[in-house]
Amino acid sequence: MAVLALVELDNGEPSDGSLRALTIARSLGGPVAAVVFGTLASPEAVGGCDIYQVPASAVDGYAPVAWARTLAGLVAELGAVGVVAASTDRGNEVMAHLGALTGLPMAANCVSVSGSAGEFSLVRQRWAGLLLEDATLSAPVALLTVATDAVAPVPALAAAGPVTVHEHKPSLAAGDLAVLAAEAAAGGGGVSLATARVVVGGGRGVGGADGFKPLEELADLLGGVVGVSRVVTSEGWRPHRQQVGQTGTKITPELYLACGISGAIQHIAGCAGAKHIIAINSDPGAPMMSHAEYAVIGDLHQVVPALVAALRDR
Ligand SMILES: Cc1cc2nc3c(=O)[nH]c(=O)nc-3n(C[C@H](O)[C@H](O)[C@H](O)COP(=O)(O)OP(=O)(O)OC[C@H]3O[C@@H](n4cnc5c(N)ncnc54)[C@H](O)[C@@H]3O)c2cc1C
């Protein structure tokens, strides 16, 4: 009785969140099958299991209903008792579509799961991780997403065994490949906010939509992505999918560089899992400064371009 794990790619490699999803899938004890849209640069990076790789000729980029329909087909084909994905925007969206297509219940933000076909016990995060809930999911197939900071991902080597790659062409219905225009414009294969190793955050202090150019440059140089506070999305300077926080995305990067962000509790709920935080703020009393390991007291419009120039020099 297999458990499927949806593996999202960051530049051809499995995202950290997906490695956590695989870790939870493996903790259930049965065989695990990974489902990938696109091409894994190194299949052994997911550890020993069957990999169902959907080529771009069948589904090109992110199409949530097509991804969900593919998973539904594999659940039936393999007799899977569970499907696990990372609790990213995409993971949650695809699993919600899968629930709608199959009539199965879904539990989001799980930190641990046990049990077997029919009845799973789980612990999941509520209120942006402020509360842990014990729950039971009674269903022939459990649909689960795994909180981005739930478990340390088991390295592929520890999950050794044969890796078999199957090219999988799903049968899709008309309209399954529809993608929201905003998603298409955002591109399909980049690094996602939830699993990025570096996030350059911008808040009200950035001053407007145009002020994000230097932050984007800095993020590019560091191999990261831009994240923002809610003020920024409410003002329409950046899209909501870039929001960090209680009502946005929870991030767990190695480095979070918070520029012109005051550090409201609802923002901290989304970035407290960052390994290192550096704050750049003109107000030494901003709460963000006390959450940061290093704080630069200054005008971000001077500090960020200076950082970009220093990195370019290197
Ligand atoms: C139910 C609820 C849910 C919420 N969910 C979220 C959420 O998910 N994410 C989120 O972020 N917020 C959320 N909020 C909003 C939150 O309470 C704050 O209002 C918001 O985070 C503040 O955004 P900010 O830090 O960008 O702006 P501000 O609080 O206005 O802070 C701006 C900061 O920029 C600094 N600054 C200004 N100019 C410069 C400069 N030139 N150089 C350097 N620093 C400068 C200032 O000193 C200040 O510290 C939520 C609120 C509620 C009620």
Element (H, E) at 75: helix 64-78
**Residue 31 scores a pLDDT above 70:** yes
Q: What is the pLDDT of residues 64-94, one digit of tens each?
A: 999 999 999 999 999 999 999 999 889 999 9
Residues with CB under 6 A from ligand 1: 203-205, 229-231, 243-248, 260-262, 264, 266-267, 270, 280-283, 286, 299-301
> Which pLDDT value is given to residue 151?
84
∠ CA(3), CA(91), CA(230), 5° rounding?
155
Give nearest CA residue, ligand 1 atom 15. 230
CA 132 to CA 109: how far, in whole Å? 10
- pTM value is 0.76
Least confident of 13-22, 147-156, 283-292: 147-156
124 neighbors 111 (Cβ within 8 angstroms): yes
What confidence tier does 190 reach under pLDDT thresholds 50, 70, 90? low
The alpha carbon of 115 and the centre of ligand 1 are apart by a number of angstroms equal to 42
> Which pLDDT value is given to residue 174?
78
148 neighbors 85 (Cβ within 8 angstroms): no
Which residue spans within 74-141 are E strands per DSSP? 82-86, 106-116, 118-126, 131-139
∠ CA(249), CA(197), CA(21), 5° rounding?
65
Element (H, E) at 6: strand 3-7
Q: What is the pLDDT of residues 253-272, one digit of tens each?
A: 999 999 999 999 999 999 99
